[in-house]
Structure 1
Amino acid sequence: MKRITHVFPWLTPIRIFQKRKLRHIQSLFSHKKFSVNKKASKDYPYTNKKHQSLLRRKLGDSDPKLQENKITNLKIASNAIDGTVIQPGETFSFWKLVGKTSRKKGYIEGMLLSNGQVIKGVGGGICQLANLLYWMALHTPLQVVERHHHSFDPFPDEGRVLPFGSGAGVFYNYVDLQFFNPTQQSFHIKLLLTDNHLKGCISSDYYWPYSYHVLEENHYFFEKKGIIYRTNDIYREVIDKTTGNIIEKEFIMHNVSEVKYKVKESKVFKIDS
């Protein structure tokens, strides 16, 4: 069944306004203790996960200028999060730290995805930051309590190094990325933009005895009723650092996204119904 905003696009701004107001009201009555960005008062010497992603890569036929604009937006959003410490019992919220992306803050038009289409929008491109944070969080004991994935796969793989569907979509303020700290230690987020990469690190104040390996299974394309989809399952292995043994394999998510680019027929399974 199609969403009402697909049938009547002019209702989209009204629906967005409703959802933003609802999330604001929910936040007012939430019992969550959210992390705030304060300068760390001590060292966090134990690295849990480092990762980096390219700032520029070929994304179909999209305008390269939108990627340059994205870098400006990433710098502003990264500065809002860099240095954040997630204390025991606290919840990290992407939008609680970044806030609304406005021209007043210096944000400019970048690439946004809307119903599988690339459009321009102020603050566009900062999903790359959410992707980085989500991937790093999966390699820590932090518990992801809110994460959204894109229902469309808009671009073919070009330099992809992570499993398909292992990113996180964000849209102010009701499509958020949140993770909770259930441990008795604190976690510090460090972010940096170089000429070519967005870099990140999550470190802790005490040694954590486990590491994590994220992998995909059952990855394939399939066609149903003339529409091509991409699917996979994401798992996480918990590894004892002392022995190197896998002590647990956790199911993380099942992804199904409509593909918006051409796929070789030989790679696609056909499903009748």
Structure 2
Amino acid sequence: MNHVDLRPKKRSALRIWLGTQFYILKRWLEWKIGNKTYATELTSEMLPYKSFSHKTPTLRKLKDVDMWYQHNKVINLRLAVKKINGVVIRPGESFSYWKLIGKPTRKKGYVDGMVLFYGTFKPGLGGGLCQLSNLIYWMALHTPLTVTERYRHSFDVFPDSKRTQPFGSGATCSYNYLDLQLRNDTDHAFQLCVKLEEDELVGEWRLEKPPLHVYKVYEKEHSITSAYWGGYLRHNVIHRKVINLSGKEVDDQYVTENHAIMMYEPLLTASEQEQSG
């Protein structure tokens, strides 16, 4: 691993803005003239079989982060969930996170939430929607859906306190060029169901045929190393075990590799992590 590649690059605000606009336009053209068939069908009628479900808390107290960020995140999540809940992905179709949600704007009701930015955070319109993309990606890893596009977080911002998933098992998002895309390479339809229930974001993948396998996602080669330019780097490899209905492991598949710059002291005790996270 080349540590220089992870070192934050100093760029002017103008260059960041121009680069963002270029990639937004590039994505828009891909949606319009590309050769993918994107899923657009939304229905309240649920497919009969459950593949995998998961839920995450929407209100989490983080050190030095005002709770209004969390409450505004819930507002944004409610709007985004309406655009995605019930989408059916037919065989050969692709799911695009941002194509379904659209651009978050104040006119649509989106508000400022927490946006991660170069290892820190700031207010940003539509902030907090990464919790939804994280949930969808994590659930997709427990299905035979093919992840065709996913972006990892470049910075590990918060400690592991109460973390139940491996480091690097999420998917960051930014309209519209940092997208999460999945493709259905099976011979039957999948359906994504998501909702907000009390203080939790709840998701589920459903099928029109009974599932043939279950999946166990885990990490390998986890390490924390110091960088010569200062700070610490975190690394791991995500795999998943494929288990048939008889309980026999039939495959062990590579999923992805993660590298991130740590933005907190890696040797915190459990109690210190609780206070920081």
Output the TM-score relative to the length of structure 2: 0.91
Could you say what secondary structure the match of 2:10 adopts? helix
**Which stretches in structure 2 are left out of the alignment for 5+ residues?**
270-277
- For 2:60 and 2:94, the matched residues in 1 are separated by 32
Counterpart-to-counterpart distance in 1, 2:195 and 2:12:
42
Q: CA deviation at 1:55?
A: 0.7
Question: Which residue in 1 is equivalent to 2:224?
Answer: 221
Match of 1:239 among 239, 243, 257: 243
Corresponding residue of 1:253? 256
Residue 215 of structure 1 and its aligned partner are, at CA, apart by: 0.5
Query: Secondary structure of the residue that 1:133 maps to in structure 2?
Result: helix
Which residue in the other structure is 2:171 paired with? 168
1:170-224 Cα distance to aligned partner (Å, 9 max, x none): 1111110000001111011111101210000101011121111101112221111
Aligned match of 1:269: none
The answer for unaligned runs of 5 or more in structure 1 is 267-273
Task: Tell me how large the CA RMSD over aligned residues is.
Answer: 1.8
Match of 2:59 in 1: 56
Report the Cα distance in structure 1 between the residues aligned to 2:92 and 2:174, rounded to whole angstroms.
25
Match of 1:207 among 207, 210, 218: 210
Q: Which amino acid aligns with 1:110?
A: G
Match of 1:85 in 2: 88
Q: Does 1:157 align with 2:160?
A: yes
Matched, 1:230 2:234: yes
Residue pair 1:43, 1:205 contacting (<8 A) in 2 also: no
Counterpart check, 1:136 vs 2:136: no
1:5 deviates by: 7.2
Residues 147 and 177 of structure 1 are in contact (CA less than 8 Å); yes or no, is this contact kept in structure 2? yes
Whether contact under 8 Å (2:42, 2:84) holds in the other structure is: no
Tell me, yes or no, if the aligned pair for 1:230 and 1:258 is still in contact at 8 Å: yes
Aligned length, in residue pairs: 264
1:26 paired residue number: 30
Mapped pair 1:10 → 2:14? yes
Q: Which amino acid is 2:217 matched to?
A: V
Q: CA deviation at 1:117?
A: 1.3
Tell me the SS of whatever aligns to 1:6.
coil
TM-score by length of 1: 0.92
Residue 43 of structure 2 corresponds to 39
